[in-house]
Amino acid sequence: MEKGSYFGIVSRIEDEMNYTMVSIDGGQNGAMALWEDVLVKEVKGWSFNPKRTLSENICDIVDSVRLIIQHHRPIIVMERPGRQMHIQWVMYSDIRQVAQQFRCGFYGYVPPTIKKQVTGNGHAGKPEMKTHVWSSGLIIDVEQRKVMLDDEHKVDAVAVGICHMRKEKENA
C-alpha cells in the first residue's frame, strides 16, 4: 500500500467540502467517519500493512488525518483506548497532537460512555451498537449505509460521532 492510501481521501480532497467532524476508531484495524453538518458523508476503514513497520503504519494514518485537518479544520472525536492498548494510545496521542497543532477541537470518549450515549446501555454489545447506528438516520441512503457499516470498526467510528453530538446536546 502506498503512503496515505488508507482512506482513498488524500488524493481527492475536495476544497468545497467542509467536514465539521471526523470520528475515529483507532487501532491496527480501524475506521474513520467524515461528517458534514450532522450527516455522515464517508466512512473508510483500514488494516495495517504487514510489510510495513508499526511506526510506518501509524504514520500513514496520522498523515491522512493531518491532511484532512489542514484542509477542513474539523472537530476530531476518538474512542479513548484502554490501558493495555499500546497501538491505539500511540495513534490517539499522535492525532491529538496534530489537532492541537492546527487548533482543532479534540474529544476522547471511553467505550462505556459511547455505548450509553448511542444505545442507552453502557454494556451494549456489537450487534446492539450496529442496530442503533443503522437506525440513527444519519446515513440516509440505504445502499450507502450497507457499504459504510460493513464492519464493526466503521460502526464504532460512527458511534463515536453520535456520542459526541449527544454529549454536546446534553451540555448545551
Domain boundaries, the chain: 10-171
Span 83-107, average pLDDT: 91
Give the tens place of pLDDT for each residue, 32-72. 988 887 888 888 888 888 999 999 989 989 998 898 888 88
> For the whole model, what pTM was predicted?
0.83
At position 103, the amino acid (one-letter code) is R
pLDDT at residue number 7: 45
Does the pLDDT of residue 26 top 50, yes or no?
Answer: yes
Span 95-124, average pLDDT: 93
pLDDT at residue number 105: 93
Question: For 10-171, CATH number?
Answer: 3.30.420.10
Whether 23 contacts 107, CB under 8 Å: no
Whether 32 contacts 23, CB under 8 Å: yes
